[in-house]
Chains A and B, each alone.
Chain A
Amino acid sequence: MTELKLPSIDYSALSPILIMLGTALLGVLVEALVPRRWRHVVQLTLALLAVLAALTMVVLNADERMITAGQALAVDGPTLFLQGAILVLAAMALLLIGDRSVERGGAFVAQAAVTAESADDRRQAEGRNGLTEVYPLTTFAIGGMLIFVAANDLLTMFIALEVFSLPLYLLCALARRRRLLSQEAAMKYFLLGAYSSAFFLFGVALIYGFTSGIPGRTAGVDFATINAAVSESPASQVLLFAGMALLAIGLLFKAAAAPFHVWTPDVYQGAPTPVTGFMAACTKVAAFGALLRVFHVAFADAAWDFTPVLGAVAVLTMLVGAVLAVTQTDIKRLLAYSSIANAGYLLVGVLAPSRDGLSGTMFYLVAYGFSVLAAFAVVTLVRDADGEATHLSRWAGLGRRSPFFAGLFTFILLAFAGIPLTSGFTSKFAIFGPALDGGQAWLVIAGVLTSMVLAFPYLRVVVMMWLSEPGESTPTVTVPGGLTAAALMIGVLATLVLGVAPAPLLDLATGAAEFVR
């Protein structure tokens, strides 16, 4: 009989995670106990306060460097930086989710069970208040992401993956308008997500097998054991490499890298726009946070052997994203392909095996998150009687109708295109520089070439907005309520500030760019 020993847990280091998960549970209770009228205010306040509290704890923990909860969670520089990033971006996303003035009742369906396109459905679309279950779902997802970037063994990582994925599948299905599209997106996301989880889990199993058989060590999937096994295990290397490949596939699916990106355009288009923004910003941070940790910590000694393979994935991702963006006609799909291409750029950063590469990648995640949330915030504003007008032809002449918002959107598109004085330029620089130093010139060349291709679809939108005459079908831009306006302005300002004065955040990222092992 081995004695069961409780692992020591540093609760204060884990407090951000605990706060988010606790709030999510509290949110479920609120759904049950608080009268319907008050739920929206209570839930939104609760969620925002929780994010704020968690962020405060992240800041207070800024100097913590430890592995706790029995090797399961690592609290170190990258964890804290990425948790902070997730929380800030999630706060912006919550502002978008909580807005009920742009669309009466909010972007979410009032009753998810009503058959789509039925008479009941049409009635509920006319301004009944949306579901408030979205808040606990969102907080669960945030909590899962916080665990995901901190996970120090593969099983915890898998649990976290499911904790943040399941609420996202649900959230995707809750759009108020075009519900069939929304439900279809959720279904696809769920099926393919489950599919990719299977790959991940299979990979975990193979790695577990690989770690067994080292004299004096028990088998396990925590990163320290894996790291030791890479150099010491007597088991066949085939296990290791097949396992790594499967793990990578699971993570690259979440990161939306080609050829595992196929779900992205459909899901981004179908999901309620605030949720799309949340996924584009926060899921990206979480997925790349996990990728960085797996490759920098667990497989540190073996990982760089297969740089060419992941490099090929990166190039393919950039190409697919950029080339397909050229012919898109829907703004949300266009942004989806742009997000795919950006996943490619981020992979370039992951493959720069240096501290600068790590900090550049983290900087890129933050900068891109701000811009993409601002972009989706604008998308929620451009609408007509049937909801958001996402077809690009409808955006023609928008600059004449609403020069201010068209101006903001132009600025964001220029940031995506990497024009100097925007964060798009500084963040690409932060990634391509270390990659070049790391001898990955071919990736940088591919990155620059695809950036040129990508500039075309962005500038096409700009040209349409400013140089076309507004037609009869040009929608108006709703003057946003306080919440959306706040999210939009934060996003635009961050894009500008990080473009003009990136040094403070870059320094912070560089200071944080060291994993504990």
Chain B
Amino acid sequence: MEETVEYAQATGLLGSVWLLVAIPLVSAAVLLLLGRRADRWGHWLGVAAIGAAFVLGLSFFFQLRGLENKSVELSLWDFIAVGDLRVDFGLLFDPLAAVFVLLITGVGFLIHLYAVEYMAHDAGRRRFFAYFNLFVAAMLLLVLGNNYVMLYFGWEGVGLASYLLISFWYGRPSAATAGKKAFLMNRVGDTGLAIGIFIMFATLGTTQYDEVFNGVGALTSTTVLVLGLLLLLGAAGKSGQFPLQAWLPDAMEGPTPVSALIHAATMVTAGVYLIARSNPIFSANSTLQLVVLSVGALTLLMGCIIGAAKDDIKRVLAWSTVSQIGYMFLGVGLGGGAYALAIIHLLAHGFFKANMFLGAGSVMHGMNDQVDIRRFGGLRKHMKITWLTFMMGWLAIIGLPPLSGYFSKEPIIASAFEREDWTAWLYGGAALLGAGLTAFYMTRLFVLTFHGPKRWTEDIEHPHESPMLMTIPLILLAAGSVAAGGLMVLNGGVASWLAPVLGEEATGEAHGVLSHEVITILSLLVTVLGAGLAWFLFRAGTATAQQPAGVLVTAARRNLYADAVNEAVFEKPGIFLTRALVYLDNRGIDGLVNGLAAAVGGGSGRLRRMQTGFVRSYATSILAGALLVMAAFLAVQAGWLA
């Protein structure tokens, strides 16, 4: 880890990497500025912008493959130059950024395409695509920046775009509240990230990636720990990890394509990106890694448990995202070769989660926006394409070989066991248990939606399959869900591609507590067990109303009381503090200010009376003033003053 990080200057085609950010951004600006004039064709502009970005991203990717150094840096202009602080508006295109660019623009493009039809009947479709483009542009800036300030710039842009999109239907109080909740919880994380960046500047004098990474070795371990924890707080905020996970499921209030974009291509992956990008910092302190690991393990179990108790199709998927991101945090927390595993899981997850969210959208589209899985059932006959594509996503997420989830998740579980003390059992066990639970709740979701007896509400007579524009993205994403994982691990695949950024894979045989074969068999076993149990329990449908339940299920239904804790620990004291401050402000500060103002006003009124309008009194006051000034001058002369 002592090698220095260096980036080459971008030349040739790669000199135009900035276009990746500029194209969606300009498109968003055009859509917002033209207003209603763009209503008729605006959505196609939005789709085309992301399509163009994807094509560009691909060509940049192939360019990068041909380079020896595998990373190029592009300084556009001085972004901030104040005192000692010098921040470039600079971009960095390296293997890590490249895979993110492909994921964001590729999956993003399919989601855009899908949204054209999904939002066809919404009056605000143009505005929707403007925000959508803005979201992608901000996310691309986040992954392409060459320093932490640029990353923060994109980070805040993502926060803004997510706020606008989650509360897109701002007429609904629940949507407006969810947008605010997402924004506020993100701010908590953002503040952590911002303070982290301040610490970098204070201790290292720079925020450029290469200079920071080369300088980490010189820092005390406490500084690294604090810095890393702050970055982790930021990452947890964006990625919906413990303790900042509560906003993510509420973000379902936005239109379904927004959920797909947030969960698959943008936003939640930002936290994983931040930690993977900052791997020299996190690898420098083992305590820090342990914290990341624990956050990942805890969140992945929380997500599974809550997901199993939810009845809203989008919320189940949302909690499954929380839990899958937990796996990724587990991966980046393990460090070493597991960084690449986390990124591979992130990419695979991008496909199958986008697939399932869009599938859920398709189901809602056919079912009058019903989201309660207890009111679905038997849809496989009516929505063949949605059913089949969703099945691919389901099989992928539970990790059935040879679908992509198997290749991406199983290695993480195996790595978790590759520790030499009791913690192997702790983290490995959590990952394994998570795999079983995932199989359970995803199977429950799938079976209740597509199989079993109909439990539809009365207003639905004949659910219909979604139009082509929606099913084509589904089919493409389903293909990705099936094949992406296998392709990514083929011949070292993505892991060796990422090696320049994340370090080489551990080649030596690690001595874990269990052998690799045993773990594979175990994880397949719990998967089949979980899935089988769910199939057995829900094959005949379920009650359409909420049933009384035991302690665990009630707790899970209430998000394991995380909201209640937030309310008791933060909201209540916060409200009290605000009230106290308002009281102080009204009584103390306002009193002082108003008193002063009254004094000035009164003085003004009194002084005004001296302005009589008579020249004689004016002349007198001038004379008096003249005498005073004369006297003062003479006093100066006599040495009495100054």
Q: Residues of A at under 8 Å CB distance from B?
A: 187-188, 191-192, 195-196, 199, 237-238, 240-242, 244-246, 248-249, 253, 258-260, 262-263, 265-266, 305-309, 312-313, 320, 323-327, 453, 456
Contact = CB atoms under 8 A, between A and B. Distances in A.
A259 B615 contact: no
Interface stretch (B11-19, B194-202, B485-493, B632-640): B632-640
Interface string B602-623: 0111011001010100110110
Given A187-B615, A237-B637, A241-B637, A326 B622 contact: no
Nearest to B612: A262
B629 interface: yes
B629 A309 contact: yes
A190 to B, nearest CB: 10
A187 B621 CA distance: 17
Nearest to A327: B604
Contacts of A242: 630, 633-634
Contacts of A196: 622
B626 A312 contact: no
Given A307-B642, A323-B603, A195 B636 contact: no
Contacts of A240: 637
The secondary-structure label for the interface of chain B is helix
Contacts of B632: 245, 306, 309, 312
B601 interface: yes
B634 A195 contact: no
19 contacts: A191-B615, A192-B615, A192-B618, A241-B634, A242-B630, A249-B626, A253-B622, A259-B624, A259-B628, A260-B625, A262-B621, A266-B611, A306-B633, A306-B636, A308-B642, A309-B636, A309-B641, A326-B604, A327-B608
B619 A195 contact: yes
A262 B611 contact: yes
Interface string B587-606: 00000000001001101110
Contact of B600 (A258, A259, A323): A323
B636 A453 contact: no
B608 to A, nearest CB: 6
A456 B642 CA distance: 35
A246 B607 CA distance: 26
Interface in B34-69: none
Contacts of B630: 242, 245-246
A192 B642 contact: no
Nearest to B603: A323
A244 B637 CA distance: 11
B607 A324 contact: yes
Given A238-B637, A307-B642, A309-B633, 10 more contacts: A195-B622, A245-B632, A249-B625, A258-B625, A259-B625, A262-B611, A309-B636, A327-B601, A327-B604, A456-B600
A258 B628 CA distance: 12
A324 B604 contact: yes
Given A262-B611, A323-B604, A238 B621 contact: no
Nearest to B624: A259
Contacts of A323: 600, 603-604, 607
Contacts of B601: 326-327
A242 B629 CA distance: 9
A313 B632 CA distance: 11
Nearest to A307: B642
B618 to A, nearest CB: 4
B619 A324 contact: no
A229 B626 CA distance: 24
Contacts of A253: 622
Q: What are the 9 closest A-B residue pairs judged by CB atoms, nearest first?
A: A259-B625, A245-B633, A241-B637, A262-B618, A327-B604, A326-B604, A309-B632, A241-B633, A245-B630
A122 B165 CA distance: 65
Contacts of B597: 456
Nearest to B623: A195
Nearest to A257: B625
A480 to B, nearest CB: 30
B621 A259 contact: yes
Contacts of A263: 618
Nearest to B626: A249
A443 B605 CA distance: 25
Contact of B619 (A191, A241, A249, A313): A191
B642 A245 contact: no
A241 B632 CA distance: 10
A312 B635 CA distance: 14
B608 A324 contact: yes
A306 B638 CA distance: 11
A286 B638 CA distance: 32
A139 to B, nearest CB: 29
Nearest to B605: A327
B608 A241 contact: no
Contacts of A259: 621-622, 624-625, 628
Nearest to B620: A262
A198 to B, nearest CB: 10
A263 B607 CA distance: 15
B175 to A, nearest CB: 31
